[in-house]
Amino acid sequence: GNSVTQMEGPVTLSEEAFLTINCTYTATGYPSLFWYVQYPGEGLQLLLKATKADDKGSNKGFEATYRKETTSFHLEKGSVQVSDSAVYFCALSESPGGYNKLIFGAGTRLAVHP
């Protein structure tokens, strides 16, 4: 079945450092891809998405490009802030019977220090 693999955390960075969180997927067809973020004590929020190959999703300084050839959707940010500390989930959408469901990776915890 479809699956998502993320780099294990925690990822610890200093403020203003460059961030990459790797995400690869296995899927039949061409699913939509997502990054969700979970801040401490809060629910999941959609960070960005991409629906087809070569699409770039971006939001709040974060970017990810849908790479069909490498089946990847790596999350990047040029300069992280302490407020970016959270757990980041890569996910794909599959549609059994025409209804969407999300398949999540294991999550990567990011800790940013001043």
Partner 1 sequence: DTAVSQTPKYLVTQMGNDKSIKCEQNLGHDTMYWYKQDSKKFLKIMFSYNNKELIINETVPNRFSPKSPDKAHLNLHINSLELGDSAVYFCASSQEGSIEAFFGQGTRLTVV
Picking from 1, 6, 7, the residue whose alpha carbon sits closest to that of residue 26 is 1
Binding mask 36-65 toward partner 1 (x if CB under 8 A, else -) reads x-x---xxxxx--x-x--------------
Q: In angstroms, what is the minimal distance from the CB of 42 to partner 1? A: 6
For position 102 contacting partner 1 by CB under 8 A, the verdict is yes
* Options 13, 89, 110, 112; binder of partner 1; rule CB under 8 A: 89
* Options 1, 29, 40, 97; binder of partner 1; rule CB under 8 A: 97
